[in-house]
Amino acid sequence: MSDGGKAKDDGPVTVMVSGSFPPDVCGVGDYVGRLMETAPEHWSLFVERDWSAFAALGIIRRLLKLNPSDVVIQYPTQGYGWSLVPHLLAVIGNLSRRYRTTFALHEFSSLSKKAQLALALASHVADRFIFTTEVERDRAYRHSLFSRRVPVSVIGIISNIPLSATSPQFHARAIDIAYFGHIRPNKGLENFLDVMQALRARREDARIAIVGEIPAGYEEFGKMVSGRAEAIGCKLILGLDDHAVARTLRDIRVLYLPFLDGVSARRGSVLAGLGNGTIIATRIGFATPATLLPAIIPCDGTHDDVAKLLDALAMTDAQATALGEKGKHYVVTTLPRDWLHIAMLYEGALGHTGDAVC
């Protein structure tokens, strides 16, 4: 199924392509939803949930009917799965000269080698790539088959969750330590549960929670997490809307996020926590920006983190406030101002306005 949005009447017709869109549980799908909600006059929305090879011909026909001048493929999304049809759209655009193709690439380094290879090959037929961080751009450039000729831009992300200028005092918050994000493998949740089990042995009264959603297809993993959380007295908070999530984040003392590959500027859960004054304890990785380091507590994702987390909980209100302000400063000074700003940066990257891309 395709969802058509309103295209601009007085300029190029840009089609925003996605395999997921709210209410689907997908970070990139949420991102597309925010863009369309903020500036629907800029783009025509094209959403498909079936990206199988059997659906490819129909997808191409429906896309061409929109007569686009630009096609922006938001990648990856939960809806694409392992499909190569999004890459095929770049080939069609290149061969037919009907439209220009841009990949808005939210991840590269964490993708499988096959997915990286497919994108590297697609870079030879696409007209532009948009990355979310300089690190992801540089990782793509280091792939031996990624084209050095395709133009690239970097447009940072912001949190989907509303940000707040004020938060309760550190020791007045109802939750001591929490995890926040999609409940799925390879997000550090297993490490979180291991460390919380060890922490519980030293701090029986610790108030622990997991806040998030379970994406479709990960129900069995969700059951595992739920069972382990219940066993150690960790509260599971699911299905909150964005404003309720923001209120919950403001009531958390320490957000413990032991990502396997470390924190980066594209971690929306971290940005949401920082913007709401939550103290962030997380792992440092190859993609961690130096400007973020003063705003977080470095951790290892091992039982050694128990002592660091207990020390964090022992901070005074003044110490926690000072660290929280550094987090808010990072969000305000290094990221796009808002979703409209991101929309304008996209227009600049596509050459539709004179806006600089940062």
Q: Are residues 330 and 345 in the same domain?
A: no
Q: What is the pLDDT of residues 295-354, one digit of tens each?
A: 999 999 999 999 999 999 999 999 999 999 999 999 999 999 899 999 999 999 998 764
Q: How many independent structural domains does the chain possess?
A: 2
Q: Are residues 136 and 67 in the same domain?
A: yes
Q: Are residues 181 and 318 in the same domain?
A: yes
Q: Are residues 149 and 208 in the same domain?
A: no
Supply φ then ψ for residue 180, to 5 degrees.
Answer: -140, 130
Q: Are residues 91 and 202 in the same domain?
A: no
* Mean pLDDT of the chain, nearest integer: 92
Whole-number Cα distances in Å, 334 to 95, 191, 326: 39, 29, 12
In a domain, 8, yes or no: no
In a domain, 271, yes or no: yes
- pLDDT tops 80 at residue 8: no
Sign of the CA dihedral running 25, 129, 46, 31: positive
- Residue 10's Cβ-count burial label (10 Å; 0-12, 13-18, 19+) is exposed
In a domain, 7, yes or no: no
Contacts of 68 (CB under 8 A, 6+ apart): 13, 14, 15, 44, 98, 99
Whole-number Cα distances in Å, 113 to 88, 101, 120, 140: 18, 22, 10, 12
In a domain, 88, yes or no: yes
Q: Are residues 110 and 235 in the same domain?
A: no
Q: Are residues 175 and 115 in the same domain?
A: no
Instruction: Identify the pLDDT of residue 5.
Output: 44
- pLDDT tops 50 at residue 4: no
In a domain, 358, yes or no: no
Dist. CA 135–CA 298, nearest whole Å: 19
Half-sphere exposure of 191 (CA within 13 A, CB side): 22
- In the chain, the N- to C-terminal Cα span, in Å, equals 34
In a domain, 27, yes or no: yes
Q: Are residues 139 and 26 in the same domain?
A: yes
- For the chain, helix (H) and strand (E) counts, in that order, are 12, 12
**Closest residue by Cα to residue 214 from 199, 225, 201:** 225
Q: Are residues 154 and 192 in the same domain?
A: no
- Read off the amino acid at residue 28: V
In a domain, 236, yes or no: yes
pLDDT band at 6 (very low <50, low <70, confident <90, very high): very low
Q: Are residues 221 and 290 in the same domain?
A: yes
The residue count for the chain = 358
Dist. CA 327–CA 292, nearest whole Å: 8
- pLDDT tops 50 at residue 68: yes
- pLDDT tops 80 at residue 356: no
**Range of the structural domain that residue 177 is part of:** 170-334
Measured at the CA of 160, the angle between CA 319 and CA 315, to 5 degrees, comes to: 10
Residue where the block lists tokens 């939803």: 33
Q: What is the pLDDT of residues 169-202, one digit of tens each?
A: 999 999 999 999 999 998 999 999 999 999 999 9
Dist. CA 124–CA 134, nearest whole Å: 20
Q: Are residues 99 and 123 in the same domain?
A: yes
Contacts of 230 (CB under 8 A, 6+ apart): 236
In a domain, 284, yes or no: yes
For the chain, state the CA radius of gyration. Answer: 21
CATH classification of the domain holding 113: 3.40.50.2000
Q: Are residues 131 and 19 in the same domain?
A: yes
- pTM score, whole prediction: 0.83
